[in-house]
A and B are shown apart, each in its own frame.
Chain A
């Protein structure tokens, strides 16, 4: 039996505190799905309800045609990789990995166990105890222990959180490779937006128990629908503006006294006052009135004038500029260091130029999601 994982109207409250507030989610079979959000947003609680370690207060969870909402965890074809690995300290690695198989009554576990250990490239550790392994090794064994049971869904609860940066990057690639090889549905919970975007096919951004936006990483990033998503994934410049009118497929907005054009499909609200947004790496700096280098003057561009560079931080690959605009807001610009040397020193007056199609518009609190 196989199928998609579906959550319908799932709510979880602890007393008066609502941790998960009416979640509707369909996770396609065989995909790599990420639940992304800050701590306390309810993503781990949601994961635990899929695993069976928590019961929903209301709502339903289906795996294909099967209603697993109230099934005990040991009855679900779902396995979890825990945040702290939760390897059994009194059993050696081999027995840890074999645990699920043995509980299901499998007589000869050696084949499957050895294959799982090969998959995570640690067959030589079979007879050691968990305490003797490094963090990264424990993490891979935890993965092997879950995968060996070939569950329909594999849940990962911030499994890379305790690893150092280099190891984390390595494991991200590994996990993706294993998922593609094995073909199981992975549901990965994390607060690291880079991790979610690198690994997942689909990402759901959660905030305060609700899903703010769901989609492919690139869609979430380039077309955020709420300010939380705009600020949580990468960084955004959000400026208050008002609607002035519309032309063919384009909405004209008054942004602090300057005119900008937003493609109609990228404005997610009908209200007259909203926030206009653009990602810092999409903006080029130009001398006031001049063309920005690398942007053809004939392209459909948005331009904000009157900026003054307050700070320029060189970080090797790029330079991060803080530009103070006439309305006292500081906007961020990331410029790739194509040239050597300071093109726009602090204090210079600049215009901000970017392609119209990179603009988006939404309602909300400008600083939502900033931590």
Chain B
């Protein structure tokens, strides 16, 4: 291959090459976490000491890891359900109904997304302090629902916007009451958006540190656990959980894609 051809090939594929490099950059920490989850590093997982499957065999080996994980999962599920329901209701009200105070409503929904986490955290803590509310499991749930609602509203609204209102009109024209229309036409078509919003809410909750840290009292969550152990040394089991979360997410997404591809038959 002459130099000229090489240069031409590079020019045509420059962007693709760049994309590969960019993805390598994006995946580097994940790769690191995955690799080190197999490290025989014991409590302080900084230097590579040798390959072992022990960590994966016994992910709860390090103290507090599984308690923290369990809390994170419980909080995640509860806050996701609440945020998704509340947010979906708001999204429908915004897109399908007329009411007064629309600007104020939009503002109240948009503001939490524009407010830095540390401010949200501090504000909520101030509320709890002033009202004498002890911080613990339920204050975390309250906080997570609070910041997730806005994201759910945006995600579901976007999905509803793609819904042709004439479909609902057609349903009513065909003898479906408002409730039946919602059940048979609107909801099935909006469901993927709601599912996406729920997934988003769950990941926001699971991964949240700052707001949780301010409002959790003594209750441990997974991010809190990692942060606190950062000084002493993060146990390899935490890496196992991190890697496992990543792979589980990938599997869920892969399954979703396969299902979607199946539902649209070719031809």
Q: Give me the interface of A with B, judged by CB distance under 8 Å.
A: 51-53, 72-74, 78-80, 82, 84, 86, 88-90, 99-100, 103-104, 129, 131-132, 145-146, 149
Q: How many residues of B contact A (CB 8 A)?
A: 20
6 more A-B residue pairs beyond the given contacts A88-B167, A132-B267, with a C-beta to C-beta distance below 8 A? A72-B172, A74-B172, A74-B174, A80-B173, A99-B176, A145-B174
- Which A residues are CB-close (under 8 A) to B189? 89-90
Residues of B within 8 Å of A145, CB to CB, are 174
Chain B interface secondary structure, helix, strand, loop or mixed?
Answer: helix
Report the bound CA distance from A131 to B267 in whole Å: 10
| B175 and A84 contacting across the interface, CB-CB below 8 Å | no
Set of chain B residues within 8 Å of A86, measured between Cβ atoms? 164, 166-167, 169-170
Asked if B265 contacts A79 (CB within 8 A), the reply is no
A104 and B175 contacting across the interface, CB-CB below 8 Å: yes
Give the residue name and chain of the A residue nearest to B174 (CB). A100
Chain A residues whose CB sits within 8 angstroms of the CB of B176 once the complex forms = 74, 99, 103
Residue in A closest to B167 when the chains form the complex, CB atoms: A86
Chain B residues contacting A146 (CB-CB under 8 Å) are 174
CA distance A53 to B165 in the complex (A): 11
Q: Once the chains bind, are B172 and A99 in contact (CB under 8 Å)?
A: no
B136 at the interface (CB under 8 A from A): no
Nearest first, the 10 A-B pairs at minimum CB distance are A100-B174, A86-B170, A103-B175, A73-B172, A86-B166, A74-B175, A103-B176, A80-B173, A90-B188, A99-B174
The answer to the question of B180 belonging to the interface, with a C-beta cut-off of 8 Å to chain A, is yes
Contact B174 A51 (CB under 8 A): no
B185 sits at the interface (CB 8 A)? yes
B170 x A82 contact (CB < 8 A): yes
B264 within 8 A of A: yes
Chain B residues numbered 103-147 whose CB sits less than 8 Å from any CB in chain A:
none
Tell me the nearest residue of chain A to B189, going by C-beta: A90
B233 CB to nearest chain A CB (Å): 52
* Inter-subunit contact B169/A53 (CB<8 Å): yes
Does the CB pair A53–B185 fall under 8 Å?
A: no
Instruction: Enumerate chain A residues within 8 angstroms of B264, measured Cβ to Cβ.
Output: 129, 131
Q: Does B171 sit within 8 A of A, measured CB to CB?
A: yes
Partner of A53, one of B172, B177, B184: B172
- 19 A-B pairs with CB atoms under 8 Å apart are A52-B173, A53-B172, A53-B173, A72-B172, A72-B177, A73-B172, A74-B172, A74-B173, A74-B176, A82-B166, A84-B164, A88-B170, A89-B167, A99-B174, A99-B184, A100-B174, A100-B175, A103-B174, A132-B265
A371 CB to nearest B CB, Å = 26
A127 to chain B, nearest CB (A): 10
Q: How far is the CA of A75 from the CA of B267 in the complex (A)?
A: 38
CA distance A53 to B170 in the complex (A): 9
Binary contact readout B152-196 vs A (1 if CB under 8 angstroms, 0 otherwise)? 000000000000101101111111110010001100110000000
**Contacts of B188 on A, CB cut-off 8 Å?**
90
Q: Could you tell me the distance between the alpha carbons of A51 and B166 in the complex, rounded to whole angstroms?
A: 13
Q: From A105, which residue of chain B is reached at the shortest CB distance?
A: B175
The closest CB in chain B to the CB of A72 belongs to B172
* Complex alpha-carbon distance, A145 and B185, angstroms: 15
Report the bound CA distance from A129 to B267 in whole Å. Answer: 11
